[in-house]
Chains A and B, each alone.
Chain A
């Protein structure tokens, strides 16, 4: 855990002049959920700024979905507070949730109704939705996810990817200020994944705040402005993508014909985790200045063909934060 960012606080760094400083779309305080003796979510303080795309990361079983269910009022927290779009939940749920589109733990629809009928049914439940525009809004949502042509087919005949698209369409039935998307690209092919990614981008540029949970780190890295990382029910890192990534360890990469000699020099300098591989040496320099490393290499007569310092990729960071790969925790 050393070297990872401090336990995140709600007060995030805010870029002046950008749209991100107008408060928080999602805010929790000491949010906790126990199922019997099992602590699923342990006192998290989540802060999703308005207008951000917030990547919610964590291994399976780390409490992401339980947190999302608490935010949406499906699960009652054991302790703590939650605010959605500035309003306390669940007191103001009826008004607030109308402005929140959500996809929770995969699509779920009536199998013997068509895609369009399923959306109309959900819209019928929304007491704040205008029945006069239901048909138009439904078709617009279906069109936005590329499902209009299959709108009349029964849901049971849909492929996994089509089902996922329908669930995203359901989240877009009304104008939303916040979208909560739990694993939105599950079951989609690469083309569909790219479409969802660009959809999230275009929604975000409309000013919609997006909270997207995912285990596909590369994807989060591409679309998110902020991230929060869950581990065993705790939020172990949170902030802008740059902040969180900046807090991770840098790696140094040396290209050389003498990897063994280079590795020896790096070790002598105190570089950790030195790994020679064919034609390259990688290591974690810690606080060492890169200039000193190059100078020492040259001084030792090691021919340096290339040299670079890189911040950790989100994936490296993730492993360092959660202490594991993408396996089930606990």
Chain B
């Protein structure tokens, strides 16, 4: 109460008191982002989600160990797993980028704005006040970090069990040459970053949808439908003209990062398309949210 008391005690008007209190306004603070990450990370449902993401590479590794597949069977990386444990996270990422990782982003994006609106906490955040643009920026940053967490939840346990079960021999690239273990680790990190960037583009779409509704589940399902539709359209050869513009089209190009030398074409195309999605949909979310009446 001290400031208010001082203000009334000395006969200062509220405006003066405010000016005194605002002498050193901090324009930059990571407190809200940290709070947001604690909120996401502390939620039981999200922790379960990470466990599910992590379970896939473990199941895959054990299954391969138990019955080693003959050559020519199974997806791209599965047959390479036995040669090098680092193929476990790559194979698992290839499987999970289709649906599980987008699902994780959809859940988080649904919570981001629609979830807060649904609980009613949005009105209290905005009257704190958190500036609407800042709230959107923090929410999007937390979704991007969530995407990194999701990818890491697949890759790190995958790498651990892969190395434990199959060792760390030299990695045979998709071009047939061999690279050392250290270089291979860097390739895996590149793959993780590339896929996280793809999911970050998707997260911007999710954030936009989240500003349209007060039902977090509806927002999640809408983003999931968006993802599935993109995959379906990407699989229709007659729509080839559309493929370069689909958000998912270049996601599987992460395999190009395992060539020797790295084939950057598809990866860079993917990054620019995903970046464009991120910018366009973040701006759409901003346009919608900054003028929205909060009646929840």
A residues apposed to B, CB below 8 Å: 19, 22-23, 25, 50-51, 69, 72-76, 85-87, 93-100, 102, 104-113, 120-128, 131, 167, 170, 175-178, 206-208
Residue B25 contacts which of A23, A72, A106, A128 (CB distance < 8 angstroms)? A128
- The CA-CA distance from A127 to B8 in the complex, in Å, is 24
Interface membership of B67, Cβ < 8 A: no
Chain A minimum-CB-distance residue to B294: A74
Give 15 new A-B contacts, CB below 8 A, not counting A74-B123, A126-B130, A127-B25.
Answer: A25-B14, A85-B14, A94-B131, A97-B128, A109-B119, A122-B128, A125-B35, A125-B130, A126-B129, A127-B27, A127-B130, A127-B134, A207-B5, A207-B9, A208-B4
Q: Which one of B15-23, B79-87, B197-205 is at the A interface?
A: B15-23
Are the C-beta atoms of B4 and A175 separated by less than 8 Å?
yes
Task: Chain A residues near B27: list those with CB within 8 A.
Answer: 127
- Minimal beta-carbon separation of B212 from chain A (angstroms): 17
**Max count, chain B CB within 10 A of own CB: residue among A94, A120, A124:** A124
Instruction: Given A23-B13, A175-B2, check contact A97 B127 (CB 8 Å).
Output: yes
Q: How far is the CA of A104 from the CA of B294 in the complex (A)?
A: 11
Of all chain B residues, which has the CB nearest A170? B124
**B131 neighbours in A (Cβ, 8 Å):** 93-94
B67 to chain A, nearest CB (A): 42
Contact with A along B106-135 (1 / 0, CB 8 A): 000000000000011101111111110011
- B26 interface contact, C-beta 8 A: yes
**Dominant secondary structure of chain B at its interface with chain A:** helix
B121 touches A109 (CB 8 A): yes
Partner of A108, one of B9, B44, B119, B134: B119
Q: Contacting B39 at CB < 8 Å: which of A102, A104, A110, A208? A: A110
Contact sample, A vs B, 7 pairs, CB 8 Å cutoff:
A51-B8, A74-B127, A120-B35, A125-B129, A175-B4, A178-B14, A208-B4
Q: Which residues of B contact A120 (CB under 8 A)?
A: 35
Q: A124: which B residues are within 8 A, CB to CB?
A: 31-32, 34-35
Q: In the complex, which of the residues A102, A113, A127 has the most CB atoms of chain B within 10 Å of its own CB atom? A: A127
Cα A2 to Cα B245 with chains together (Å): 68
* A224–B1 alpha-carbon span in the complex (Å): 21
Residues of chain A contacted by B26 (CB below 8 angstroms): 127-128
A206→B17 CA distance, assembly (Å): 14
Choose among B9, B25, B121 the residue with the greatest number of A CB atoms under 10 Å from its CB: B121
Beta-carbon nearest neighbor of A118 in chain B: B121
Q: Does B233 contact A (CB under 8 A)?
A: no
Partner of B15, one of A73, A86, A104, A131: A86
A69: which B residues are within 8 A, CB to CB? 123, 293-295
Which residue of B has the minimal Cβ distance to A51?
Answer: B8
B1, B31, B35, B293: which contacts A206 (Cβ < 8 A)?
Answer: B1
**Alpha-carbon separation in the docked complex, A109 to B124 (Å):** 9
**4 A-B pairs closest in CB distance:** A108-B120, A207-B8, A97-B129, A124-B35
Report the minimum CB–CB distance from A69 to chain B (whole Å): 7
Contacting residues, chain B, for A107 (C-beta < 8 A) = 120
| CB atoms of A126 and B127 under 8 A apart | no
Of B5, B7, B34, B291, which one neighbours A76 at CB under 8 angstroms? B291
Q: A128 to B120, alpha carbons, bound, how many Å?
A: 23
Judging by beta carbons under 8 Å apart, are A99 and B295 in contact? no
Q: How far apart are the CA atoms of A96 and B135 in the complex, in Å?
A: 18
Name the distance in Å between A94's Cβ and chain B's nearest Cβ: 6
**In the complex, which residues of chain B have a beta carbon less than 8 angstroms from the beta carbon of A102?**
124, 127
Do B129 and A104 touch (CB < 8 A)?
no
**Which residues of B are found within 8 Å of A121, using beta-carbon distances?**
35, 39
CB distance from A296 to the nearest CB of B (A): 53
Interface assignment of B43: CB less than 8 Å from any CB of chain A: yes
CB <8 Å contact, A122 and B125: yes
Cβ A175 vs Cβ B1 within 8 A: yes
Q: Which residues of B are found within 8 Å of A122, using beta-carbon distances?
A: 124-125, 128
**Any A CB within 8 A of the CB of B51:** no
**Interchain CB contact under 8 A, B7 and A131:** no
Report how far A178 CA is from B119 CA in the complex, Å: 25
* Neighbouring A residues of B4 by C-beta, 8 Å: 175-177, 206-208
B3 at the interface (CB under 8 A from A): yes
Is B29 at the interface (CB under 8 A from chain A)?
yes
A104-B127, A108-B123, A112-B43 known; A74 and B31 CB under 8 Å?
Answer: no
**Residues in B neighbouring A112, C-beta threshold 8 A:** 42-44
Q: Tell whether, in the assembled complex, residue B295 and residue A75 are in contact, meaning their CB atoms are under 8 Å apart.
A: yes
CB neighbours (8 Å) of B29 from chain A are: 127, 131
Task: Check A206 against B18 for contact (C-beta < 8 Å).
Answer: no
Shortest Cβ distance from residue B59 to the other chain A in the assembled complex, whole angstroms: 29
The reply to whether B8 and A206 contact each other, CB–CB distance below 8 Å, is yes
A-side contacts of B134, CB under 8 Å: 127
Q: In the complex, A109→B26 CA distance in Å?
A: 26
With A85-B14, A86-B15, A175-B2 known as contacts, the answer to whether A19 contacts B8 (CB < 8 A) is yes
* CA gap between A50 and B17 in the complex, in Å: 13
Q: Chain A: which residue is nearest B35 at the CB level? A: A124
